[in-house]
Structure 1
């Protein structure tokens, strides 16, 4: 996905008042090189959490009519969200970064182990077992509850067996994940706001430290999950999807 952003150097260096845009292609690296139509080169580091970027890509896929791609991407966003929660809790209880890194290497390639680590981290932190949405079931027309897959079975069938989901069921799944993430985000930021913000800035800070020769601009995108934390937050995923369609002109192509 490519994001259209204003060229900062056109304003700062040339004093050009009308907006001049560049296209930033989202990728795994957090260093993005963009060049505007006037030839200004800028290096951008995003301050968004990775799960926010993934969720946005999934929401955009759904808005463009690709429900299967939306399910796969938003499921990946949920996994990265759980990882973030583990990192925030670890930071909040002052676990050394190198020890967390050593432990994470042992489960880095196993999503089920990562989910288990999330469950136990939340239990030890809050003294309560967190909600598990995987075992819930969608509401399907003309289908009994006994014949309905759980969300975990549904997601795995989409990702691993090529199941093509309907838009209706996809929206219900996205609604569930959206509410789950937002509720946990409120809980986490209430007690660990500093650690939460620090994790968001960390990838941009690491990018700067790894590229001292480059002048890097920190930039935050108005993603769906980011806007959900504001005072005008959409109350549901359907509302957020409408909002996304309203400002999607910032996504150039």
Structure 2
């Protein structure tokens, strides 16, 4: 999957008087209305080198479970129901990881201890689910696991079952409701720790950045939309409405490019 990131160079801008006129002139010179295309990756770092050889890296602010949910929805719109269910499942698993981090922060677990614990379960989804359920019980968070949905997911991933479009939509709705309703609960009693987890996501690449390389952040609207969590109507849009909206959503067509390198 190819995505588009800004081709504006802030290092070039820093070499000017930094006036609005300088910004507009540089934007025109760099042709910044046309984004730079990069391949979506797991490291969440995207490199851009301007004509003056200034090197910059961009990272997305959105959590991995948000991006995965969007990718699953795009796959579903293209008719790939099996791939959509698999990626919706991956989104949910990465949400478990996010929640486990939030609970650990709330209980003042040291980062080194958390990393050591996570390394023991990083490749075992059953352990992650167990940890998530145990912590939800401890924190008084509603258990939204539906056994039939787990069986359905296992049939698709492990038994080669090809779901219908409606089955994929139903599973996606289950994952969407699960994540958004759990986030609303967490926001009521753990909002500070939700923000801390987001900050960890934004700073985890800091030590990977070479000297004299600028790190930029970019953001995009997502279906899950963690940044809209405080809106009164959060979680009230059915998945089918979001899917129908994506068909004509210019931003999604602009950001997600269906090319391979």
What TM-score do the two structures reach when normalised by structure 1?
0.84
In structure 1, how many angstroms separate the alpha carbons of the residues matched to 2:49 and 2:208?
Answer: 21
Deviation at 1:36, TM superposition (A): 7.1
Change (3 A) 1:222 1:34: farther
1:74 alignment counterpart: 88
Show the counterpart of 1:196.
194
TM-fit CA distance, 1:205: 1.1
Structure-to-structure mapping, 1:51-66, within 5 angstroms: 51-66=65-80
**Is the contact made by 1:23 and 1:34 (CA closer than 8 Å) also made in structure 2?**
no
Q: How does 1:104-115 map to 2 (within 5 A)?
A: 104-115=118-129
Q: 1:151 to 1:36 in 2, by over 3 A?
A: farther
Contact 1:2 1:24 in 2 (8 A): yes
Give the corresponding residue for 1:240: 242
CA distance, structure 1, for counterparts of residue 113 and residue 134 of structure 2: 17
Residues 55, 225 of structure 1: 8 Å contact kept: yes
Residue 211 of structure 1 is aligned with which of 191, 202, 209?
209
Query: Secondary structure at the residue paired with 1:106?
Result: helix
**Which residue number in structure 2 is paired with residue 147 of structure 1?**
none
TM-score (norm 2): 0.82
CA distance in 2, matches of 1:238, 1:41: 41
Whether the 8 Å CA contact 1:52–1:77 is kept in 2: the answer is yes
Pair 1:3-2:3 in alignment:
yes
Backbone CA RMSD of aligned residues: 2.4
Partner of 1:132 in structure 2?
145
Structure 1 alignment gaps of length 5 or more: 136-149
Displacement of 1:130 in angstroms is: 1.6
Runs (4+) of structure 1 moved beyond 3 Å? Answer: 10-14, 34-42, 227-234
